[in-house]
């Protein structure tokens, strides 16, 4: 009996259900966007993965026949402290806080690490560590 009532109510529900009819929505025509072709040309540009400070010293070639300039002694830099583990490594040199790219006493700081700082002075790299007051020289390759 219960089955009969269920079947009968399903038939009645199907008779009285009116499907909803919506007016057709107009979709706008798709517009084609003309984009120019992009071609990557890296000829003649510098390598972004190379240090621009050392590249500049390499590219500054001396003309032939020019006399070799007299090299001066590097400035006396005293490294009192290093902060090298963060995003911006810094050092305390001659009671001043410096970071990579800063100049101090005519020398440009090119790197700061746990062992000390490396500066570029007259196209020569010098390393200064907190233990020594003097410089260890290493020629630029």
pLDDT of res. 140: 46
pLDDT of res. 22: 65
pLDDT band at 4 (very low <50, low <70, confident <90, very high): confident
Residues forming beta bridges with residue 82, ordered by sequence position: 91
Residue 135 has pLDDT above 90, yes or no: no
For the whole model, what pTM was predicted? 0.45
Look-up of token digits 């020594």: 132
Q: Of 43-57, 84-98, 108-122, which range is least confident?
A: 43-57
pLDDT of res. 89: 92
User: What 3-state DSSP class applies to 82?
Assistant: strand
**Mean pLDDT of the chain, nearest integer:** 77
Residue 74 has pLDDT above 80, yes or no: yes
Q: What is the DSSP string of 14-63?
A: HHH------PPPPPPPPPPPP--------TTPPPTTS-HHHHHHHH-PPP
Mean pLDDT on 13-23: 68
Q: Enumerate the domain spans of the chain.
A: 76-138
Mean pLDDT on 77-87: 87
Q: Of 44-53, 80-89, 94-103, which range is least confident?
A: 44-53
Two structure tokens written together for 96 = 């001043």
Q: Specify whether the CB–CB gap between 70 and 60 falls below 8 A.
A: no
Residue 67 has pLDDT above 60, yes or no: no
Q: Hey, what CATH topology would domain 76-138 get?
A: SH3 type barrels. (2.30.30)
> Residue 39: left if φ>0, alpha if ψ -120 to 50, beta else—which one?
beta
């Amino acid at each position: 009996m219960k089955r009969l009532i269920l079947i009968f109510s399903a038939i009645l529900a199907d008779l009285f259900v009116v499907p909803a009819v919506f007016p057709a929505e107009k979709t706008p025509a798709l517009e084609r966007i003309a984009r120019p072709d992009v071609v990557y040309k890296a000829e003649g540009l510098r390598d972004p993965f190379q240090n621009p400070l050392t590249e500049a010293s390499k590219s500054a070639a001396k003309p032939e026949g020019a006399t070799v300039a007299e090299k001066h002694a590097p400035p006396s830099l005293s490294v009192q402290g290093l902060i090298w583990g963060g995003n911006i490594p810094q050092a305390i040199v001659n009671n001043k806080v410096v970071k990579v790219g800063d100049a101090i006493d005519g020398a440009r700081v090119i790197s700061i690490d746990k062992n000390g700082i490396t500066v570029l002075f007259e196209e020569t790299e010098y390393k200064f560590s907190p233990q020594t007051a003097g410089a260890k020289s290493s020629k630029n390759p």
